[in-house]
Amino acid sequence: MDETSSDVLILGAGVIGLACALYLRRAGFGVRVLDQAAPGAGASHGNCGTITPSHAPPLTMPGSLGVAWHALWHRDAPLYINPRVDLERLRWLFGFARHCNRRDFEHAVHARAAILGRSRRLLAELVRAEGIECEFVEAGELYVYRDRATFEADLRHHADVLDRLGITVERLDGMAVEAREPALKPGVVGGLFHPGDARLRPDRYVEGLARRVRELGGVIESDARVEGFETDGRQVRRVHTRRGTFVADHVVLALGAWSPRVARGLGLRLPMQPGKGYSITYARPRLAPRHALVLRESAVCVTTWDSGYRLGSTMEFSGYAEGLNRARLDALRRGAASALHEPEGPRVEEEWWGWRPMSVDEIPIIGPSTRYANLSLATAHGMLGVSMSAATGELIAAQLTGTPPALDPTPYAPARFGI
């Protein structure tokens, strides 16, 4: 088949790939985006849609290993690790464990805070400037506690970390939380409100990004699964797909959880694992929460839009196992039922699962490859792809144009892993 040439070829039409495409088109590059399915069909589609500078603290914190060990024996736990033997996953877990120390935690929390804060500001500008109708609301996010010990632990750790980072967090007693959020059942002991957080409908955000890329002259190719590469040792010369062969001056790998598998074709080993998440989308209930909520004891995220209502979250490390795990969906329902007067909407619109691209150090991998002069990576955003999307696109565009980036790119560079 004939080769198709572009300035920049982006592998992946999820929220990260499309954000990169939009910022690169704004910078004047000819852009072509390839995806094995349709734009936004992966983890971009069914997540909770919260924009969360408050999520700067990573999972790699001292004490996480004890939680992970307990999770081995409970299939419906908020964090679940399938005990099936998987050497790649085992290698990743050992690497993750090595990062669960105070020094690496502090490094990660500052790196995540920087990109989350920058992206939060950019995203508000982006949806307005580009006319993206995605129900973007700047109303904050509320963590809700029904257990005193859990609340006090988060006051000492989560809230204190945010204070040090300069991220506003309001401490509330139980009465204040219930007054602010009538959708909650009585029995709340306290809350943490993050006024700088926001929410949007992620599927509509991704649709808006794809629309603007096309309107600005970019091309998006669906059903273009990557099947192989041709290289000359220092350059990626050709990308072979089921839709044909593509060439470009520069290639951006933004394939989310699929990135490690595709990168093998380039001889690169990405220290990532898929972290499976779940959500249930309903028609909006009559008494829907006013704010995005995190029900801390059950680790259930609750998001309300004008057009619907979603329960989501959980983290399952089961490799690339596909399909819905009914125990995980039931756990979402139980968690919501324990806290909300109307935990479910009048009808179910979708039950969903997707793979989040989890890096071993809980910091995204963004920037030029050390192996190939014309390859950049934009992946491993974990649970925060939507939240980090705008700043990732901006950073990739700055690096390709050679302009000074708004963020220090060092913490995110692939060079830290020799890739």
Q: What integer pLDDT is reported at residue 321 of this predicted model?
A: 86
Q: Taking the domain 59-100+137-198+272-359, which CATH number applies?
A: 3.30.9.10
pLDDT at residue 313 tops 90: no
CA distance 15 to 197: 18
CATH class of 3-44+204-271+361-417: alpha beta
205-240: per-residue pLDDT in tens?
999 999 999 999 999 999 999 999 999 989 999 999
Reply yes or no on whether the pLDDT at 2 is more than 60. no
Tens of pLDDT along 254-280?
A: 999 999 999 999 999 999 999 999 999
> What pLDDT is recorded for position 86?
83
Q: What is the pLDDT of residue 1?
A: 45
Mean pLDDT (whole number) for 287-292:
97
pLDDT at residue number 65: 62
Mean pLDDT (whole number) for 156-179: 97
Across the range 123-127, mean pLDDT stands at 97
| Span(s) in the chain for CATH 3.30.9.10 | 59-100+137-198+272-359
- At 356 the pLDDT is 94
pLDDT computed for residue 66 by the predictor: 61
The pLDDT score that the predictor gives to residue 284 is 97
Q: What is the pLDDT of residue 197?
A: 98
Which range, of 40-54, 92-106, 160-174, 349-363, averages the lowest pLDDT?
A: 40-54
The segment(s) of the chain belonging to CATH 3.50.50.60 are 3-44+204-271+361-417
The fraction of the chain above a pLDDT of 90, given in percent, is 84
Residue 12 scores a pLDDT above 70: yes
User: Which of 8-17, 78-87, 115-124, 163-172 has the lowest average pLDDT?
Assistant: 78-87
CA dihedral (53, 70, 271, 418) positive or negative? positive
